[in-house]
Structure 1
Amino acid sequence: MKKIFMFFLMLSTSAESMNCFPESNMMIGEKKLNQKSFLAKNFESGLSEIEFHLTLDKFEKVWAPIIQEKYNKKLIVERDWKNARVNAHATRDDQDNPMIVVRGGLARHPDITPDGLLLMLCHELGHHYGGAPKIFRGNTDRRSWSSAEGQADYFATSKCMPKIIEQDDSQVPESVQKSVEQVCFSVNCNRMVMAAMSVGRVFASLRTDWNVPEIGKTSEEKISKTIYSHPNPQCRFNTFIAGVNCDKEIYQDFDNDDYSIGACVNDERASRPACWFVENNY
């Protein structure tokens, strides 16, 4: 029986996912929606089937060998191109191999880019290998195998994306260069900021009370204990940027119990944002 943790961009029914993601009727079939997109000014809107598979190939080429060597596990990426749901989720098979399921509706979303999809894949991988804080199993005090949503985001830009794009020739459109430079200056950082904007716009499109994140803005969310479910898009964007700015070695893993190992702490620019993480209450 599969142990399932679902990161839903649609409708969540799994107790493991805490039923926290907004219900949405968004379905994007192979005939793309006629929808205006901010990012379409700078990127082609949505991905073709070829781009979808090439992006997943790129992810697997880097991460499958790492997971095989480090954990003796097989990375399984299920490519459900024909499925119209705007959705991706992480789960495990009967042999405890990490699985990532990606629906075609997500790839066809008008705000997704190849790097945005890579970031989503890294987020899902972060549920498997993102370390502490881990979510709780149902209403018990036992920890799940899955890292919290915010931690999966932090892993995505601090450990996962850098390994994929470190050899690439990265470019950022001139029209957004000045905005991106508010938070970073390195080429790879610029690229991950744009990926985070792509993903942030996808998140924001699924709930009417969620806004598109802004570069240079800090989430005003006030919390007293760690949030394990999905933070708002601005908070998640800030988490992605914190991961980018963390100068810890990208090959130093996070720990499953000690949140400080492999992470940046007491660093305003690079620590997990206070909009979802509370050090003394997780």
Structure 2
Amino acid sequence: MKNWFLILLLFSTQAFAHLDEVVPFTAGSKLSRTRFRTVIQILKTRFAPLSQKDGRVLEFYTDYESDWAQGFARRWETDQVHIYGGLAAIPNVTEDSFALVVCHELGHLYAGTPYSDSHNRIAVEGQADYWATLRCFKEVVGELPKLTPSRNASELCKDEETCARALDAALVLTAFYADNRSIPHPKLSTPDTSVVTEVLKTHPEPQCRLDTYRAGLFGMKQPTCWMPWNI
């Protein structure tokens, strides 16, 4: 009985943030080990002070060799982010999209309410997505290798580079999430119009996640597809 309690405790105090389940996928061109580590180090250096202000330590645990396209965050003795190598090999991966993945994980630790686990202050999935573009990506994009944004993203962002790169990264990630569910890829032109009556604590639909990334980027309110504004 004690062992089962420990197992349940393990899974109740961490936030798996990407795949809904473990599924095979056709890997793209994987980021090199050096690029993988560099992106993580940039983000760790930038946001470790947030843990330090709380009297805590931010730690990253990584497994580049793993094909598991997953990451999670948790608060135990330290603030922890775990990243597996499959996330560096999703289709069309770039340093930008990988950074946005890591930003999401950090968002579970630093994005604030609403929480999925109030005791450990772990933000819900939607809030982690929102913070990833509201703050995190904007603060580190200047340290990432320069990428040329797509024409569509550039037009939507009126040629503002950080905005366009964030949108392109969000499109890469949410296309992958959609593939995981075997549904069409989200589009910037087809927002999710659903309205929840209580905060969604599980993974929003891929279109909702794209809308959330966009809302954070432009400083808009969180979308009603996961955040109720009428209660």
Q: TM-score, normalised by structure 1?
A: 0.71
The aligned residue for residue 61 of structure 1 is: 45
2:215 matches 1:242: yes
Deviation at 1:236, TM superposition (A): 0.6
Match of 1:206, SS state, is helix
- Matched residue of 2:194: which SS? coil
Distance 1:245 1:75, change over 3 A: same
Aligned sequence identity (%): 28
Aligned residues: 222
Residue of structure 2 equivalent to 1:276: 226
* Structure 2 residue corresponding to 1:205, chosen from 179, 197, 220: 179
Return structure 1 stretches of 4+ with deviation > 4 angstroms: 166-170
TM-superposed CA distance for 1:129, in Å, is: 1.2
Structure 1: runs of 5+ lacking an equivalent: 11-20, 28-32, 38-44, 247-269
Secondary structure of 2:13's partner? strand
The equivalent of 2:155 in structure 1 is 181
Gaps of 5+ in 2: 1-5
Q: 2:207, 2:216 → 1: CA distance?
A: 14
Partner of 1:149: 125
TM value normalised by structure 2: 0.85
CA gap of 1:185–1:143, structure 2 versus 1, over 3 A, is farther
Report the CA distance between 1:110 and its aligned residue. 2.2
Matched, 1:191 2:200: no
CA RMSD after TM alignment: 2.4
1:26 to 24, 27, 35: 24
CA offsets 1:212-262 (integer angstroms, 9 cap, x no match):
12123311323222212111111111111111111xxxxxxxxxxxxxxxx
Decide which of 98, 114, 127 is 1:117's aligned counterpart.
98
> Which secondary structure state, in structure 2, belongs to the residue aligned with residue 6 of structure 1?
strand
Shift of 1:144: 5.1
The aligned counterpart of 1:133 is 114
Please report how far the alpha carbon of residue 206 of structure 1 lies from its aligned counterpart in structure 2 after TM superposition.
Answer: 0.9
Instruction: Indicate the structure with greater helix content.
Output: 2
